[in-house]
Amino acid sequence: MKADHAQVTRLLKTARGQLDGILKMVEEDRYCMDVSNQLMATQSILKKANRMVLRAHMDCCVREAIDSGDPGEKLEELAALLDKLAD
């Protein structure tokens, strides 16, 4: 992985901590809107981490494939990922 490991790790650990907090909220039967807000905050952090990983992939792996003259496989991977995001 070519993304900044420290930043991605920090984001993922933050999301993990938030998930632990959300689980506790559910166990304590906390207000639905509070739980939902925390879920959305966690999703936002995960999206940010994913964007970082994908940007690094494009800047490194895809660029290398283009420079080598054979970008087909990397472009197919990105297209498949975009299909998943649309679901």
Residue among 74, 83, 79 nearest 2 (CA): 74
Model pLDDT for residues 31-77, shown as the tens digit of each residue: 999 999 999 999 999 999 999 999 999 899 898 999 999 999 999 99
Domain boundaries, the chain: 5-86
Contacts for 29-37 with beta carbons within 8 Å, 24 or more apart?
Answer: none
Say what the pTM is.
0.84
pLDDT at 40: 98
Helix or strand or coil: residue 31? Answer: coil
Residue among 60, 66, 78 nearest 4 (CA): 60
Half-sphere exposure of 85 (CA within 13 A, CB side): 10
Provide the CATH topology of domain 5-86.
Methane Monooxygenase Hydroxylase; Chain G, domain 1 (1.20.58)
